[in-house]
Structure 1
C-alpha cells in the first residue's frame, strides 16, 4: 500500500465488517447475495464504513488497498473528510441491518444526556432506509400521542409497552429519522441502510423477554434510558418514499435540516453529474442496481448495498446507471 498525492485521491470502497447477533437474519444473503461468514449466531450487521476501535474499515480497491480509514484520515484530513473536519475519528458510521428477529427497544443519548450521564457516552442520531422487507415487517419508532410518560414507565416490564409505540409497515424506499432521545425498535424481516453518528452508545429499555447467546437475559439500562428519552417528542419519524416513476433524474431530500448529516434519495434513469465542493465527502450507496462512479478515465463499480466514499477534494464525478431502469442511490454528506 502507498499513499497517493491529494490530487490523486479516488472513490474508495471498503471491506464490510460482519457482526453476528442473536437477532440476525438472512437478507444480506438472500437479497444482496453477500457471501457472509458462518458464525455461531446469525449475521445481523454489516459495518460498511467504520472508524471504531476494534472495527476499522479497510480499503478494498485501488493503490491504497489495505489502508485503514484511520490511516487515510490521519494522512489526508480535510482533503478526505471536508473543510468542516476538526480532527478525530470519521464522523459517521454506515451499516446494513439484517433483522431476522425484532431488535430490543432502545434509545440513544443527545449531547445534553451524554454530559449528564458521563460514562463515555456519545450522542447518536441516525437514519434508516428500508432496502427490503419481508411481508409483515414493521418499524417501531417514537411514542404515540396517547401514551403518557407515566404509562410508558409503568409498561416497561410488560408486553403493553408495544402499545405505547408508533408502528409502521416496512415499505422499501421509506426512511425513518431516529433522533437522539427517540425510542425505537427494528422489527424482524427488515434489511435497512443505517447512517448514524459515529457512536456505539445504546440503552436498552426492553428485550421482549429474549435470552442472549449465553442463555441469559441481555442487560437493560432503564435508569440511563429514562435520562435520554424525549417524552415531549410525538412527531412521526417516517419519511415516505417515492412511489411514482419518471423518465428523468430526480432528487428527493430525506434529511436536510440535521446538523449531523444530510441525505438525499436519487432516482436515476441516466447519468447523474455531481461534484464534491471541498466541504464534505460524498457517500454513495447503491440500493437496487449496480452503479459506476466515473471521471475521465477512472471508474469504480459499486455493488448493490455497498457504499463508496468520494473524498471531499475529489471534485467533479458522475454516477453511471443501467439503461432502461430506475436506479435508487442514497447520497450522504455532512
Structure 2
C-alpha cells in the first residue's frame, strides 16, 4: 500500500491546490479502508522553487470557501500564496502531508511523492482555471475538499510538525542512515541511506520500497544469496520483499542516496 511516483514541474507551473481525505471520510463516502497520507521528497529544484503546505495564519474557512467557490462557479482567479503557505523548496528535504492538509508542489520541482494509497482520492480545490485537452475547465472537487480540509493546520503548526529535521539512525563506515520523517496518523515512515561505499540493511519481515535519488547507480545484493544482485539507475524504484531479509546497498562509481519507505511497527 506504499506508492512512489514523481511529480515534475521543472519549467512548468504549480500543481493543483489539493487535499486528501482521512480514514472516516473515505470509508463513509467511498467505501475504502485507507486514507491517502503522503510525503514530498525534493529530488531536484531550481532557485526560488516553493512547496505549498498548510494554510496561512489568519485565513478563515469562510474567506477560503468564498474564493474557492468563485473560482469554480464564476471563473474568478485568486492568488494561492495569500491562502496557502509557500515554503522554500529544499533539495533533500521531506515535507510530510497527512490527510486533511492543504498542499501542492510549486513550479520548478522534481518531487518524489511517497504515499499510502490503494485507490487515488485527491480532492482538487483550485487549478488556476486551466483547461483540459477539450478546452473545458479541469474538474474541481470543492465540496469534498472543503469537507476534509483541516483549518487548524496553519503555518506555525506546519513548520513545527510537518517539516522535520533529519535524524541520524545509525552511522557506519560505509554510510549513514537518516530518519527523514513520519506523522502519528501515518502508517509508514521514510528514511534515507547516504551510502559512501556500502551499507547493510534488513527487511526484518517488512517490505522496503526504495528509490535512488542521488548518484548514478546502486547495487542491491542479498546477504543470504550474494549471487543475487539488482542494479538500479538514478530515479529508479525497487522493492525488497518482506521475506528478502538482510541485504547490502553498494554505491557504484560514486556515493549515492537511497530513499527507503517502510511500514511502522
With normalisation by structure 2, the TM-score equals 0.83
Q: Residue 63 of structure 2 aligns with which residue?
A: 151
Distance in 2 of aligned mates of 1:146 and 1:241: 29
- 3-state DSSP of counterpart to 1:238: coil
How far 1:320 sits from its partner (Å)? 0.4
1:261 equivalent in alignment to 2:188:
yes
Does the 8 Å CA contact 2:96/2:182 hold for their aligned counterparts? no
Does the 8 Å CA contact 2:7/2:110 hold for their aligned counterparts? yes
Measured against aligned partners, the alpha-carbon deviations of 1:52-74 in whole angstroms (never above 9, x if no partner) come to xxxxxxxxxxxxxxxxxxxxxxx
Q: Residue 7 of structure 2 aligns with which residue?
A: 97
Judging by fraction of residues, say which structure has more strand.
Answer: 2
How far 1:326 sits from its partner (Å)? 3.8
Q: Residue 129 of structure 1 aligns with which residue?
A: 41
Structure 2 residue corresponding to 1:276, chosen from 203, 219, 234: 203
How far 1:247 sits from its partner (Å)? 7.8
Does the 8 Å CA contact 2:20/2:37 hold for their aligned counterparts? yes
Structure 2 residue corresponding to 1:226, chosen from 146, 155, 160: 146
Distance in 1 of aligned mates of 2:129 and 2:247: 50
How far 1:268 sits from its partner (Å)? 1.8
How far 1:333 sits from its partner (Å)? 0.7
Q: Could you say if the C-alpha distance between residues 277 and 297 of structure 1 is closer, same or farther in structure 2, counting changes exceeding 3 Å? A: same
Does the 8 Å CA contact 1:96/1:192 hold for their aligned counterparts? yes
Does the 8 Å CA contact 1:122/1:200 hold for their aligned counterparts? no
Q: Residue 247 of structure 2 aligns with which residue?
A: 317
Distance in 2 of aligned mates of 1:274 and 1:166: 37
Map 1:1-334; keep pairs closer than 5 Å.
91-99=1-9, 100-118=12-30, 123-156=35-68, 157=71, 158-198=77-117, 199-234=119-154, 235-236=157-158, 237-240=162-165, 249-258=175-184, 259-278=186-205, 280-289=206-215, 290-295=217-222, 296-322=226-252, 325-334=254-263
Structure 2 unaligned runs (5+)? 72-76
With normalisation by structure 1, the TM-score equals 0.66
Q: Could you say if the C-alpha distance between residues 166 and 248 of structure 1 is closer, same or farther in structure 2, counting changes exceeding 3 Å? A: farther
4+ aligned runs moved over 4 Å, structure 1: 119-122
Distance in 1 of aligned mates of 2:133 and 2:79: 25
Does the 8 Å CA contact 1:121/1:201 hold for their aligned counterparts? no
Does the 8 Å CA contact 2:174/2:199 hold for their aligned counterparts? no
Q: Residue 60 of structure 1 aligns with which residue?
A: none
Measured against aligned partners, the alpha-carbon deviations of 1:62-93 in whole angstroms (never above 9, x if no partner) come to xxxxxxxxxxxxxxxxxxxxxxxxxxxxx122
Does the 8 Å CA contact 2:178/2:193 hold for their aligned counterparts? yes
How far 1:248 sits from its partner (Å)? 5.9
- 3-state DSSP of counterpart to 1:210: coil
Root mean square deviation of aligned Cα: 2.2
Distance in 1 of aligned mates of 2:227 and 2:31: 50
Does the 8 Å CA contact 1:109/1:122 hold for their aligned counterparts? no
Does the 8 Å CA contact 1:117/1:224 hold for their aligned counterparts? no
Distance in 1 of aligned mates of 2:31 and 2:127: 22
